[in-house]
Structure 1
Amino acid sequence: MLKKFFQAFRPSETPALPDPDAELALGALLVRVAQSDREYQLEEISLIDRILARLYQHNAIEAAKVRATCEKLHAAAPETDTFGRLIRETTGLEERLAAMDALWEVVLADGNEHAGEVTIVEEARKAMGLSYADSQKARARAVEKFSGTAEES
């Protein structure tokens, strides 16, 4: 009886998720990386919002809404390589390299590289058609960005 009572307050259908484009695919990958260590921290959430705002010219509220959609896409999501292929097929090299930079930023946001995070980045790299050297350069830029931030603090 109580179950029926609570069901009355729930929507009968879950809203349909949008078909992912390159932005939603990257956002879902960023969320996937951040959640892969089972510690989805505020710093990672804030960083994802800032990355989405920076790459797609969103204000803070728009970026947070996009990230929320990406969290849902990730939860219902296809495999990592599906998102990566979508990015490869719909963007140019410069955008794919920016996506790789963003993935490494999220990996390094908490100061630890977890094996699961690196595995996701590696799968995404291959699917996006980027080389191992591209990934290592992106990682180095992310390390430099965080070490520069640490020195400024």
Structure 2
Amino acid sequence: MFERLFPRRKPDQKPLPQPNAQLALGALLVRVALADRSYAATEVGQIDRILAATFTLKPLEAARLRATCEALELHAPGTPEFAEILRKEVAYSDRKALAEAMWSVVLADGDKGDEEEIQLVAIETALGLSDADIAEARKKALSGG
């Protein structure tokens, strides 16, 4: 009876934006954080800091970008498609720095899960990083920088 009187309205869903380098980076950061099926506030904060520093955003702008990236990560293409965008638009040295930033997200909650590391290595490989650079980013992150 109440359903007829007060029908549930579906919220208007905005279409997702077409991925660009900024959104692809954010979506991959979110993907790494979600790999262990836990999305801790420390990981969210680290993603916001990375986005703010990388794209010169204010904290609120970075949080909004991350929220868009979360939706994109959930509904959009897989890792290879995001990585291809970054390979085309981002210099190799910056992709290496991205790998280090992703490690900071993995370690933000104080628990380096195997799922996160596996996801990160897959992303680093898809970004076209060499085995030596992948190993260097891992070593640097695990030694504390």
TM-score (norm 2): 0.89
Tell me how far apart the structure 2 counterparts of residues 59 and 26 of structure 1 sit (CA, whole Å). 17
Name 1:68's counterpart in structure 2. 67
Name 1:39's counterpart in structure 2. 38
Name 1:104's counterpart in structure 2. 103
Name 1:16's counterpart in structure 2. 15
1:66–1:3 distance in 2 versus 1, CA, 3 Å: farther
1:130–1:17 distance in 2 versus 1, CA, 3 Å: same
Name 1:151's counterpart in structure 2. none
Tell me how far apart the structure 2 counterparts of residues 25 and 2 of structure 1 sit (CA, whole Å). 43
Name 2:136's counterpart in structure 1. 137
Name 1:77's counterpart in structure 2. 76
Q: 3-state SS of the aligned residue for 2:18?
A: coil
1:3–1:84 distance in 2 versus 1, CA, 3 Å: farther
Name 1:116's counterpart in structure 2. 115
Deviations, residues 108-128 of structure 1 (Å, cap 9, x unaligned)? 112222121112112211211
Query: RMSD between aligned alpha carbons?
Result: 1.8
Tell me how far apart the structure 2 counterparts of residues 55 and 16 of structure 1 sit (CA, whole Å). 25
Tell me how far apart the structure 2 counterparts of residues 86 and 2 of structure 1 sit (CA, whole Å). 48
Q: 3-state SS of the aligned residue for 1:7?
A: coil
Tell me how far apart the structure 2 counterparts of residues 98 and 23 of structure 1 sit (CA, whole Å). 14
TM-score (norm 1): 0.85
* Structure 1: runs of 5 or more not aligned: 149-153
Name 2:8's counterpart in structure 1. 7
Tell me how far apart the structure 1 counterparts of residues 80 and 2 of structure 2 sit (CA, whole Å). 42
Displacement, 1:62?
0.6
Tell me how far apart the structure 1 counterparts of residues 108 and 15 of structure 2 sit (CA, whole Å). 31
* Structure 2: runs of 5 or more not aligned: none
Tell me how far apart the structure 1 counterparts of residues 81 and 141 of structure 2 sit (CA, whole Å). 24
1:3–1:135 distance in 2 versus 1, CA, 3 Å: farther
Q: 3-state SS of the aligned residue for 2:8?
A: helix
Amino acid at match of 1:101: E
Displacement, 1:81?
1.7
Contact kept in structure 2, 1:80 and 1:120, CA below 8 Å: no
Tell me how far apart the structure 1 counterparts of residues 51 and 109 of structure 2 sit (CA, whole Å). 18
Contact kept in structure 2, 1:37 and 1:117, CA below 8 Å: yes
